[in-house]
Chain A
Amino acid sequence: MKKRGQGMACMWYPIGFTVAANPSSAVVKLDEDGTATLLTGTVETGQGSLTILAQIVAQELGISTDDVNVVSADTDATPMDTGAIASRTTYVTGNAARLAAEKVKMMLFDVAAPLLGVKPNQLEAMDHKIVVKGFPQRNMHIGDVANHARTVTGEPPIGSASFNPATVALDPETGQGKPFGTYVYATQIAEVEVDDETGDVEILRIVASHDCGTPINPMLVEGQVEGGISMGVGFALQEEILFNDKGVQMNPNLTNYIMPTSLDMPEIEVDIVDNYDPSGPFGAKGVGEPTLVPTAACILNAIYDAVGVRIHSLPATAEKVFNAIQAKRDAEPKQITA
């Protein structure tokens, strides 16, 4: 018989390295047509980080995502970066990119201020223009300002910056300190159906409420959560590298190392929890790794809810779940007679 159950799990997860320095640098330059180029040493490994960084630079300069080109991952051309690791790109590299873009913006303000007859601090960058605050009709196209900077002022609109999260080393005895700049939070809830004759678990749906600070790009945040959940599903039910008694792997291939296919994935509903972290670029934190952190736990809790067995070791294969159900059945009559 198939039995349904629900289970939840919440989590916290830090952004960046544990205490260890993990700086990022960024260079932003602006061309005379008002488009920018970001130089970053981080690597696009699928997360969409280059798109996010482009959006951050665009936001700071008041231009659109499409107006930002990104040059990345070439040690001859791009500045230092700790890399695509520890869910740090949006927060750490993003802060560096924002600060670099801010420097460009300040240079533009200095150039535009006398042309617009105001002080630099009366200016803002929006909608491809340098605008006098409160007087939107008093403006210059950002590209014209950039051109003026190069040809008249003689200073190219290029900015660079570094960012490294502020941490405090942990005491070796007590572990007390400030290991990370900030943390994100999330909850996932799963509904499962368990076949109590075979132990087979089908995950019907997962609702995932994730905090990432400000979502720079909600579509890419959803993609991260959905992908993380698929990795969590494999971790919960399927995946395991197995060794023989000689220490040699027995299933080093995708035939026998079982990871989720499209047919194994539940319906997923992603919910982004409203939040703003003042230490992140435009309030953003990060989302890469935490997406899979609560998945296995919520699935295992749902299995317990469905059939009353708690699996203490991952993965909860059908055989393991079935054996636990059998053990519970064997134990139950004894309890009654006792």
Chain B
Amino acid sequence: MVTVTLTVNGETRTAIVGGETTLLRMLRDNLNLTGSKLGCDVGDCGACTVIVDGKPVNSCLMLAAQAEGRDVETIEGLASMDRVHPIQKAFEECASLQCGFCGPGVIMSAKALLDEIPNPTIPQIRDALGGNLCRCTGYVKMIEAILLASRNMRGEAVQSIR
């Protein structure tokens, strides 16, 4: 067993886990943060995407112990008490999620993208979502929402991209 202390959504958390425990399992089972999903457990589907030290990663392919001392952002940390994140808002408004299971991972990928590139092109968005499989949407309304969020976050007075 190893003791893992890390920062999750700005707060320090500790758990004692088996050496083989992935960051995803620790988040879900030990910290009750079930927003990150287990869809394949081998890094193909991206439903487990979280941001570690500013970079999106598959939390199913990272051992919890490897996240020791690092800064982890999960879907639960995006909204604050008085507002949802502009990406979450855009995803709601564009009906970008259908069954929703891939959503937390997709939104974390989108957040990492917009943190790095505030004004992405459609090919850049497609590339950023390349590791997030979705079976419901064809990705179309996700791309729309990311463009909308990008404009809103940059303060452009765009009401809708339609």
Contact = CB atoms under 8 A, between A and B. Distances in A.
B135 A231 contact: yes
A254 B45 contact: yes
Interface string B89-116: 0000011001110000000000000000
Interface size class of B (residues with CB under 8 A): 20 to 34
Interface centre among B44, B142, B143 (most CB of A within 10 A): B44
A283 interface: no
A230 B44 contact: no
Contacts of B54: none
Nearest to A217: B95
Contacts of A268: 138, 140
Interface on chain B toward A: helix, strand, loop, or mixed SS? loop
B31 interface: no
B126 A223 contact: no
Nearest to B123: A263
Given A230-B138, A268-B140, A223 B130 contact: no
A211 interface: no
A220 B130 contact: no
B137 interface: yes
Given A46-B100, A48-B95, A263-B126, A254 B44 contact: yes
Contact of A265 (B40, B45, B140): B140
Interface string A253-269: 11100011111010010
Given A226-B140, A262-B126, A45 B42 contact: no
A223 B141 contact: yes
Contacts of A260: 138
B136 interface: yes
Contacts of B142: 262
A148 B127 CA distance: 58
B44 A263 contact: no
Contacts of B143: 262
Contacts of A315: none
Contact of A223 (B95, B131, B133): B95
Interface residues of A, number: 24
Contact of A255 (B44, B99, B125, B136): B44
Nearest to A254: B44
Contacts of A261: 129-131, 133
A6 B99 CA distance: 32
B138 A45 contact: no
B58 interface: no
B15 to A, nearest CB: 28
Nearest to B98: A46
Contacts of B100: 46
A269 to B, nearest CB: 10
Contacts of A259: 133, 135
Given A226-B139, A261-B131, A268-B140, 19 more contacts: A47-B98, A219-B95, A220-B95, A222-B140, A222-B141, A223-B95, A223-B137, A223-B140, A223-B141, A230-B134, A230-B138, A253-B44, A254-B44, A259-B135, A261-B130, A262-B139, A262-B142, A263-B127, A265-B126
15 contacts: A48-B98, A223-B98, A226-B139, A226-B141, A228-B138, A230-B137, A231-B135, A253-B40, A255-B42, A262-B130, A262-B143, A263-B127, A265-B138, A265-B139, A268-B138
